[in-house]
Chain A
Amino acid sequence: MPVLWIALAYGIVSMVLLVYTARLRRRVRELETAVGPQPRPLVQPAHPR
């Protein structure tokens, strides 16, 4: 019986984190092909006061 609850807990955590990380990485890949891998301008823009 404990196995079910433990599996549920570990399962949810793993699944959610996996899905989130995978989607994040995919979105990063998509944008990198559009913009280029290092979109850092020469000067770090500062929002004016």
Chain B
Amino acid sequence: MILRTLLGVLAIVLLVTGAYFGLVVSPPDAFQGDYVRIMYAHVPNAWVAYLSIATVFVTSVLYLWKRRAIYDHVAHSAAELGVLFTGLALATGMIWGKPVWGTWWTWDARLVTTAILFLIYIGYLLVRALSEDSERGAKVAAIVGIIGSLDVPVIHYSVLWFRTLHQPASIVRGDIKMAPPMLMALMTSLLAFTVLFIYLLTLRVHLQQLHTARTESLAHEV
């Protein structure tokens, strides 16, 4: 409980620092100008989005193996956070892309995979919402989570090879030459969002445990 509060405080401190580095300290890019600052608000979301799906995978496997409820709770919570951060990654990506490259959307592998990841998360949460809250529902969700998360790299490479082995990508997202202040801003933001993810995860898992306890106590009363 105290630990969680500390995590939250740490997250806020890091987030503010990261924003300061990104908005004030770091220099504009040679090509993009000040638009590069959006990167510090975009990339960490994508990072957490993929961190979440990895969490879903690991905890789903653990749940099938050990059958301990905590793994089920973490998987569920990570999926919910996954929707959140994937959505933010897509939104900030579009906000970044429109002024810099002129389009809201390109069909490169990373974007398409992230969009599909978003929909995989939603499918997972739908399964959760529609199955009776029982061990069977948790088992189904775990299998859906495992296959869904393993699917992500498969989709990425399928999409990548489908296009690029035919024609080269028409819009090339050039790599940004990262000066040290930019790297610092990015790293700080990445760390900040990671801490935020852990904080939100513990909070969400706590909620899930409270939920389960309340359901059980109600059942006992009956």
Interchain CB contact under 8 A, B68 and A35: no
Give the docked Cα–Cα distance between A8 and B178 (Å): 23
- CB under 8 Å from chain A, chain B span 120-154: 135, 138
Most chain B CB within a 10 A radius of its CB, from A5, A12, A25, A41:
A5
Cβ of B213 within 8 Å of any chain A Cβ, yes or no, is yes
What residues of chain A lie closer than 8 Å to B37, measured between beta carbons? 2, 6
In the complex, how many angstroms separate the beta carbon of B9 from the nearest chain A beta carbon? 13
What is the chain B residue whose CB lies nearest that of A16?
Answer: B88
Q: Say whether chain A's binding surface is mostly helix, strand, loop, or mixed.
A: helix
Determine whether the beta carbon of A28 is less than 8 Å from that of B88. no
**CB within 8 A of A48: which of B67, B98, B214?**
B67
Identify which of A2, A24, A47 contacts B33 (C-beta below 8 A).
Answer: A2
Whole-angstrom distance between the alpha carbons of A49 and B92 in the complex? 44
Interface residues on A, range: 20 to 34
Partner of A13, one of B1, B92, B138: B92
Closest Cβ of chain A: how far from B89's Cβ, in Å?
10
Q: Is the beta-carbon distance between B99 and A12 smaller than 8 angstroms?
A: no
B56 at the interface (CB under 8 A from A): no
- How far is the CB of A30 from the nearest CB of chain B, in Å? 9
Bound complex: CA of A1 vs CA of B23, how far in Å?
A: 15
Q: Pick the contact of A2 from B99, B196, B209 — CB < 8 Å?
A: B99
Q: Is B217's CB within 8 Å of the partner chain A?
A: yes
**A/B interface sample: 15 pairs, CB < 8 A:** A5-B35, A8-B95, A9-B42, A12-B92, A12-B95, A13-B92, A17-B84, A17-B88, A28-B210, A35-B214, A39-B209, A39-B213, A44-B68, A46-B68, A48-B67
